[in-house]
Amino acid sequence: MTRIKLLDKEAVNKIAAGEVIERPASVVKELIENSIDSGATRILVEVAEGGKRLVRVTDDGCGMDREDALLAFEKHATSKISGADDLERISTLGFRGEALSSIASVAKSVDLTTKVRSEDLGVTGTHIRIEDGRIADEGEVGSPAGTTIEVRELFRNVPARRKYLKSGRAELARIVDVVTSYAVINHHISFELFSGNKTLFKSVRSESWNDPILRILGSDVARNLIPITAESKHVSVTGAVGRQTVTRSSPDWIMTYVNGRFVRSRALSRAVNEAYRTLIPSGRYPIAVISLRIDPSMVDVNVHPAKMEVRFLREEELAEMLTDAIHRALQKAEEKESAPRQMKALQATELGVSEGDGKADEAAAVHGPAALAGPVGPVEEGTGGEVQRTLPLTSGRERLDLDVAPLPGGLRVLGQALKLYIVAEGAEGLVLVDQHAAAERVRYENLAKKHVSGTISQELISPVTLELSPKEEVMLEDWGEVLEEMGFEIYPFGGNAYNVRSVPAIGQRLESPEVVHDVLRDLFALGKVGTEATAKDEILKLLACRGSIKAGHEMTWKEMHDLLRELFACENPKTCPHGRPTTVTISPVQLEKIFGRR
Ligand SMILES: Nc1ncnc2c1ncn2[C@@H]1O[C@H](COP(=O)(O)OP(=O)(O)O)[C@@H](O)[C@H]1O
Ligand SMILES: [Mg+2]
């Protein structure tokens, strides 16, 4: 008896479908791509339950006649290429002829209603209903020109897949990503995303991508975008990148497009990050929208059925070109900005406010003429404005004996090194303390205590209004309860505006809209809410990090002592909330080894 059997068509389809259609967002992606290929000027996406119950995409594109409509659901049926040769020069988003057949094989039902655009008015359209992968109904129907495809109960008959879907809102967040990323590059098409009974996103047809970008990234970010361009023989690059001052905690905001296709490319993301490498702290990512027009023969989009990955010929050259273009744009923007600052510095020196230590520029930039005009300039935080500066390690003995209460364990602070570490001496040897990690630990435990005692919430003196992006709105609903418990009071304020009345009491730093928004954004970047306990812990960690003394902050003598005292009063003083060490002790023996004394 033979053991090898050829699978029947249904099984083959389901297996293949798994690669193209992974979740509701993949359905949305494939249907939108078809609508774009059809020459639509308007695309409406309606979903229910994060697309799990329903995805309906309506366009005003070229439509299909009855024959094509029937063929469209056949596997490998496509109007976009006619042979293998065409794979070398793909100009449409689709070409594999797999999407509709795949969707039909994994959804409970698919309804297609379509009418050819060019046909005379009055001619009826075609309706085809597919149930469980088979044509269940077919006939004529009144229809406007264009196509509507309605997909119900995705994976109803594929329990293994259905199980892996996330909550409706988590799936919805992915759908928002798909719709918005296509809206940016297809700004000549108006998009609308409708879910529940709400329009989550809407863009208007426009000449440039400024309109969709503004709607997606918000005006704060849009204001801080710098245009980039570059051109070589095979590639032209256009894009907009964020200034180094606006960063995100995840690389999700690096949006890359190749010939109008939204792609995830490690090579491109790396090239973007490279341009910012020395400009932004590690763990932070820039914002960038990058569109490449590239000779189709130089790029392979046929790497994976979902067509999200691409492979480039001469990848390194391309990456270098992109990094370079961003670098130049950032530099130019910086030059423009620093011009007025240098002016100020000059004035300051003339006025004699420089501290006379040869750092006139720096001093003036911080304390500058504003210091003369009153308390407008930035005041150093947490130190009550005292002017005492860090002592260099070589400073005189008398200053080391400054009047501060002794530290536990006989620890003696020697100074601060590299604006990063407190250097101290204790019974066990030389002690180095990472000031940021230590401050984070202290904050974290304080916040946790406040949370337990129900005193974490702090009413804002004046409420802060935020404008959330479509995806953030969806995430906010997901995080809502946990946020409330952690001290946030956030109310809808009409449209995409939200009113924040209370925030966790971590000090004054959460008073400005940008900072509150930033905290929420970082939180949303974590993705789905896990268990309630982990979600709360994530919020605590994030807040702890927010309010803490940063690396690079010059600490006063008193600040160092206060921080160490607080650190040693912690339950877990040895690590920061993320598990990194706060303290490293180098024993006399280790030191001797380093110096070759042993
Ligand atoms: N919204 C639409 N408007 C017009 N034609 C469509 C639409 N969606 C699908 N089609 C037709 O159905 C065919 C099959 O679609 P699909 O399975 O997505 O494969 P592909 O897009 O790779 O060609 C397309 O080639 C196109 O001719
Ligand atoms: Mg397609």
Is-contact 140 133, C-beta < 8 A?
A: no
Atom of ligand 1 nearest to the CA of 63: 4
Dig out the tokens for 308 from the structure: 């999200």
Three-state DSSP at 481 gives: helix
Ligand nearest the Cα of residue 73 is 1
Are both 424 and 518 inside the same structural domain? yes
Indicate whether 75 belongs to any domain: yes
Ligand nearest the Cα of residue 71 is 1
Distance 78 CA to ligand 1 centre (A): 6
Distance 43 CA to ligand 2 centre (A): 15
Indicate whether 73 belongs to any domain: yes
* Residues counted in the chain: 598
Three-state DSSP at 394 gives: coil
Are both 399 and 490 inside the same structural domain? yes
Instruction: Return the residue whose CA atom lies nearest to atom 8 of ligand 1.
Output: 34
Are both 306 and 445 inside the same structural domain? no
pLDDT for residue 222 = 87
Are both 237 and 168 inside the same structural domain? no
**Secondary structure (H, E, C), 310-364:** CEECCHHHHHHHHHHHHHHHHHHHHHHHHHHHHHHHHHHHHHCCCCCCCCHHHHH
Tally of domains in the chain: 3
CB of 586 within 6 A of ligand 1: the answer is no
Indicate whether 357 belongs to any domain: no
Distance 33 CA to ligand 1 centre (A): 9
Q: How far apart are CA 102 and CA 268, in angstroms?
A: 30
The tens-digit pLDDT sequence of the chain (598 residues) is: 678 877 777 777 777 666 778 899 999 999 999 999 999 999 999 999 999 999 999 999 999 999 999 999 987 777 777 777 776 666 778 777 789 999 999 999 999 999 998 756 666 899 999 998 889 999 999 889 999 999 999 998 888 888 888 888 889 999 999 999 999 999 999 999 999 888 999 999 999 888 899 888 888 788 889 999 999 988 999 999 999 888 888 888 899 999 888 888 889 999 999 999 888 887 889 999 999 999 888 888 766 766 677 888 888 899 999 999 999 999 898 887 766 555 444 443 333 333 333 333 333 333 333 333 333 333 333 333 333 334 444 333 334 445 667 788 889 999 999 989 999 999 889 999 999 999 999 999 998 998 888 888 888 888 889 889 898 998 898 888 889 988 899 999 988 899 999 988 876 566 778 778 888 888 887 766 667 778 888 888 888 887 676 767 889 988 999 999 999 999 999 999 888 899 999 999 999 998 988 7
Q: What is the number of alpha carbons within 13 Å of residue 524 lying toward its C-beta?
A: 25
CB of 26 within 6 A of ligand 1: the answer is no
Are both 452 and 552 inside the same structural domain? yes
Distance 66 CA to ligand 2 centre (A): 18
- CA torsion sign for 213, 215, 217, 223 is positive
Q: How far apart are CA 137 and CA 119, in angstroms?
A: 23
Write the CATH number for 157: 3.30.565.10
Ligand 1: residue of 26, 31, 32, 34 to mutate (most ligand atoms within 8 A of CB) is 34
- Predicted TM-score (pTM) of the model is 0.71
Three-state DSSP at 140 gives: strand
CB of 98 within 6 A of ligand 1: the answer is yes
Three-state DSSP at 540 gives: helix
Are both 429 and 315 inside the same structural domain? no
Are both 82 and 167 inside the same structural domain? yes
Question: Which residue among 284, 309, 333 closes a domain?
Answer: 333
Indicate whether 384 belongs to any domain: no
Q: How far apart are CA 482 and CA 526, in angstroms?
A: 14
Question: Which residue among 138, 171, 202 closes a domain?
Answer: 202
Distance 33 CA to ligand 2 centre (A): 6
Q: How far apart are CA 66 and CA 139, in angstroms?
A: 9
Distance 94 CA to ligand 2 centre (A): 4
Ligand 1: residue of 27, 65, 78 to mutate (most ligand atoms within 8 A of CB) is 78
Distance 85 CA to ligand 2 centre (A): 19
Dig out the tokens for 234 from the structure: 């095979």
Instruction: Return the residue whose CA atom lies nearest to atom 24 of ligand 1.
Output: 78
Indicate whether 372 belongs to any domain: no
Write the CATH number for 280: 3.30.230.10
Range of the domain at 229: 224-333
Are both 167 and 32 inside the same structural domain? yes
Q: How far apart are CA 494 and CA 43, in angstroms?
A: 25
Dig out the tokens for 110 from the structure: 């698919």
Q: How far apart are CA 1 and CA 8, in angstroms?
A: 19
Are both 190 and 268 inside the same structural domain? no
Question: Which residue among 310, 333, 356 closes a domain?
Answer: 333
Are both 183 and 233 inside the same structural domain? no
Are both 577 and 439 inside the same structural domain? yes
Write the CATH number for 556: 3.30.1540.20
CB of 165 within 6 A of ligand 1: the answer is no
Indicate whether 215 belongs to any domain: no
CB of 146 within 6 A of ligand 1: the answer is no
Dig out the tokens for 237 from the structure: 């690059």
Q: CA nearest 151: which of 261, 34, 63?
A: 34
Strands 42-48 and 190-195: parallel
CB of 168 within 6 A of ligand 1: the answer is no
Distance 241 CA to ligand 2 centre (A): 30
Indicate whether 377 belongs to any domain: no
Residue type, 120: D
Instruction: Return the residue whose CA atom lies nearest to atom 1 of ligand 1.
Output: 35
Indicate whether 342 belongs to any domain: no
Q: How far apart are CA 470 and CA 193, in angstroms?
A: 10
Are both 195 and 230 inside the same structural domain? no
